């Protein structure tokens, strides 16, 4: 687990548009946090940045679309990456006529990620983009990990379920389409179902 409490989503980093060798890019900068000891702060920020860069690459190798990293500045804790033209899924979903198909594509992307042994760590529709070409791109891997266990994967889906329900009340059919596509694509889906059941029961009795 983390050594600190994570501030609200989006509070850790600043993302702004830039260019890299003539290509549209974004810079994601993790600025120092005054409430942490400076050395600890620097090491947390660097670890998250490295983790994010590594997992984005690993995910892409597993066939899951993620932004291509163009440059990394360890000192400034900045990653320059491909700018995904499109919309945050959180904003796109409620108004799209294609929401069922989009959610099924999300389910397949997450299944491919998990089958590659990667858990995302913050699976919300704010960390997914609907690219202009209609594809799904996953972003914000800083809380993720590789060599994910069944527990990590179950927790990833459990968080997605809660985040989706709170961000998109009324899109129950869309969530069902997501999970249906996930379970169809995922290897050994019964392991995930078992974990989810276990996680739900834990929540009920603690």
Ligand X SMILES: Nc1ncnc2c1ncn2[C@@H]1O[C@H](COP(=O)(O)OP(=O)(O)OP(=O)(O)O)[C@@H](O)[C@H]1O
**Catalytic annotation, residues:** 122
- List alpha helices for the chain, DSSP H: 38-61, 89-93, 99-115, 150-167, 172-185, 189-205
Of the residues 55, 59, 81, 104, which one makes contact with ligand X according to CB under 6 A = 81
60: which 2 tokens? Answer: 């892409």
User: Scanning residues 16 to 75, which ones bind ligand X (CB under 6 A)?
Assistant: 26, 28, 67
Residue nearest to Mg ion (CB): 140
Whole-number Å distance between alpha carbons of 23 and 116: 29
Region from 38-46, 81-89, 101-109, 196-204 binding ligand X, contact rule CB under 6 A: 81-89
CB of 32 to ligand X, least distance (A): 14
CB of 189 to ligand X, least distance (A): 28
Which strand (E) or helix (H) includes residue 71?
strand 69-73
145 close to 119: Cβ distance less than 8 angstroms = yes
69-73 and 14-20 strand pairing: unpaired
- Size, binding site for ligand X by CB under 6 A: 18
Of the residues 78, 99, 125, 142, which one makes contact with ligand X according to CB under 6 A = 142
171's contact among Mg ion, ligand X, none, with CB below 5 to 8 A by partner kind, is none
Q: What is the b/e burial string over 142-177, where b = at least 16 CB atoms within 10 angstroms of the residue's CB?
A: bbbbeebeeebbbbbbbbbbebbeeebeebeebbeb
- By the 10 Å C-beta count (0-12 exposed, 13-18 middle, 19+ buried), 127 is classed as buried
- Coil, strand or helix at 164: helix
CB of 204 to ligand X, least distance (A): 29
Residue 156 interacts with ligand X (CB under 6 A): yes or no: no
Nearer to ligand X, 56 or 192 (CB): 56
User: Scanning residues 85 to 144, which ones bind Mg ion (CB under 5 A)?
Assistant: 127, 140
Residues that bind ligand X (CB under 6 A): 9-10, 12-13, 15, 26, 28, 67, 81-84, 88, 126-127, 139-140, 142
């Amino acid at each position: 687990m983390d050594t600190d409490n994570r501030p609200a989503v989006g509070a850790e980093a600043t993302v702004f548009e830039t260019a890299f060798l003539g290509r549209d890019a974004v810079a994601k900068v993790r600025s120092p946090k005054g409430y942490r000891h400076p050395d600890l702060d620097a090491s947390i920020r660097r670890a998250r940045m490295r983790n994010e860069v590594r997992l984005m690459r690993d995910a892409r190798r597993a066939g899951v679309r993620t932004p291509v990293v163009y440059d990394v500045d360890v000192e400034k804790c900045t990653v320059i990456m491909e700018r995904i033209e499109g919309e945050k899924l959180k904003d796109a979903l409620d108004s799209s006529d294609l929401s069922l198909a989009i959610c099924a594509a999300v389910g397949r992307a997450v299944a491919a990620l998990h089958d590659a042994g990667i858990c995302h760590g913050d699976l919300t529709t704010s960390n997914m983009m609907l690219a202009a070409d209609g594809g799904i791109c996953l972003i914000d891997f800083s809380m993720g990990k590789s060599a994910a266990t069944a527990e990590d994967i179950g927790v990833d889906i459990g968080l997605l379920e809660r985040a989706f329900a709170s961000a998109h009340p009324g899109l129950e059919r869309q969530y069902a389409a997501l999970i249906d596509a996930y379970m169809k694509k995922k290897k050994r889906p019964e392991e995930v179902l078992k974990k989810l059941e276990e996680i739900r029961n834990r929540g009920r009795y603690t």
